[in-house]
Chains A and B, each alone.
Chain A
Amino acid sequence: MKKDKMKIDKIIVIILLTIGGILMLTPFIWMIFSSFKHANEAMLVPPTLFPKVPTLENYIKLFEELNFLVYLKNTLIVVAIFFIGLLFNAMAGYAFGKFKFPGKKFLFYMVLATMMIPSQVTMIPVYLILNKMGLINTMLGIVLPGLVGAFNIFLFKQFMGGVPNELMEAARIDGAGEYYIFFKLIIPISKPILAVQGILTFIAGWNNFLWPLIIANDEKFYTLSVGLSLLKGQNVTNFALQMAGASIMVVPIMIIFCIFQKHIMEGFVTSGIK
């Protein structure tokens, strides 16, 4: 009797989750199926869910006629540079977590305080600063403002602060230099947190939109998200093409996310946001 009741509970929960899940996934399903339709099939009333005659013409058009290959390349460059930022975050987190030095407390609070600043406040001055530095319309200008992040530094500090001091002391006694200790000892130990931050960095770099939009005036610096917003503006009625563009942005990140999602979850639990 009790067991039956448990089962009914669970079935109700699963039904509720399924309804919610369908609502969460519908936009993606609609996007992917529509991206394989011919331009006029996407405009059918009532709409078809599955494409009647599936076609790759939208994808071919994006890469052959539009500049999506350039945008993709730029996006991957942004992601790659963001990984350098990840290294900076890790270094800062390590120093804050494992060293004593004058001004440490002040500097760390300052880092945390930057989390509270809305991007709209810094948007204009950052533009002016980059303008003064002559970095408008360059790849460096696109990535510099988002390169390091307080939250990432905080997570690294939390994790690396837990590494036993004896480990570093032993290495120092053996004559290892500080860089050697960081790269050969601390980095390998920090794999769990690096995995989480790596995937989050990838997502952030891939999805980065506002800065490339503001800073890049030249199409050769556009990232995928900027290119897609351009496509949306210029091909207002070609929904199939738009859906193909959106799929190019969304599907790779989904695949990467599915592979690594376990690490994200574990990272959230171990970093202690509860």
Chain B
Amino acid sequence: MKNFISKLNKYKYPYLFIAPAIILLFMFSIIPIFVSVGISFTDMNIKGLANFNNIDFIGLENYIELLKDADFHQAIRNTIFYVVIGVPFVVFLSLTSALLINYGTEKIFSFFRVVYYAPAVTNIVAVAVVWGFLYNTNYGLLNNILNGLGLEGLRWLQDPILAKISLIILAVWKAIGINMLIFLAALKGIPKSYYEAAKIDGAKKFQTLRYITLPQLRFSTFFVTITTLIGWIQFFEEPMVMTSGGPLGQTNSMALFIYQNGFKQSQFGYAAAGSFVLFVIIIIVTLIQFRMNKQDAWE
């Protein structure tokens, strides 16, 4: 015991320094996972919130219910749609803009860096308000431009498929900036000597890109892909503030499904089960990604 106390005293300062952060992370990240798993086996709802005696253990019932829930199936299908279309666009467009912005050193290029990053710092609600107006069928800018070109206006947020694409467009617009910055940082880190050597060997612009730049960007491409992928599996704020999942659940995502069941209908147990399914999917996808990247590196 005495030994323990003297040891604690010896390491007093590092423990004091990490204490606030660790305590907060424990309370709001680590413990909640276990709580979440726990309540996913119960029928907890608004009554259970008022009095814990109203909570019953129901085993796997929530999970079985989820398997049968058509709304949940639709949310999964929509999420797959978002991921399959959204992720490649984000990676491709942020890489392309980083390469273009890295092309020159003049002031105008750093100006473009600011412009492309600007959407990333904006608030999602403000973005939803502005894009909601842009997408408006009657008064929106987009349809008026289409009309000006002699084309028919589109029902941006009402048509089932188009509504999903409209949400993807604005999410991509918002996501380019941060990922572009990651690529730019990586581009700045490539040794200049590589390019000089290539130049001496008479390499063409395209060859330099293919054999030097892209391979050197391998890690950041991996990083961007995986964070984007995880982000899009949790696609949430855009459908929430733009369409609330409508029309008829056509833009609903898994994360939004969880939020609505949890906080709109107060079905905490059911929502927790849904969130755990989402968590497992994310872990599986992440592991597959890491596995693939490893193989890639072994080649």
Contact = CB atoms under 8 A, between A and B. Distances in A.
Contacts of B176: 24
Interface in A134-150: 144-145, 147-148, 150
Given A254-B118, A269-B188, A124 B14 contact: no
Interface string A64-95: 00000000000000000000010011011011
Contact of B255 (A120, A206, A258): A120
B281 to A, nearest CB: 10
Contacts of A273: 182, 185-186, 220, 223
A261 interface: yes
Interface stretch (B63-71, B82-90, B154-162, B256-264): B256-264
B227 to A, nearest CB: 10
Interface class of chain B by DSSP: helix
A189 interface: no
A85 B23 CA distance: 12
A207 interface: yes
Contacts of B121: 203, 207, 253-254, 257
B194 interface: no
A65 to B, nearest CB: 18
A175 interface: no
Contact of A129 (B7, B28, B134): B28
Interface class of chain A by DSSP: helix
Contact of B234 (A96, A118, A268): A118
Interface residues of B, number: 93
A63 interface: no
B181 A257 contact: no
Interface string A13-30: 110110011011111101
A101 B14 CA distance: 7
Interface in B91-110: 97, 100-101, 103-104, 108-109
Contacts of A114: 25, 29-30
Interface centre among B97, B118, B205, B275 (most CB of A within 10 A): B118
B21 interface: yes
B108 A148 contact: no
Contacts of A45: 138-139, 144
Contacts of A150: 25
Interface string A101-123: 11010010011001011111111
A20 B97 contact: yes
Given A114-B30, A182-B17, A232-B128, A225 B123 contact: yes
Contacts of B211: none
B49 interface: yes
Given A28-B118, A121-B275, A147-B24, A91 B18 contact: yes
B265 interface: no
A17 B100 CA distance: 7
B72 interface: no
B286 A102 contact: no
Top 4 A-B pairs ranked by shortest CB distance?
A125-B32, A125-B35, A99-B14, A92-B21
Given A43-B139, A121-B36, A257-B117, 12 more contacts: A13-B104, A25-B115, A31-B130, A88-B20, A104-B14, A116-B283, A118-B279, A120-B275, A121-B32, A229-B241, A245-B129, A249-B126
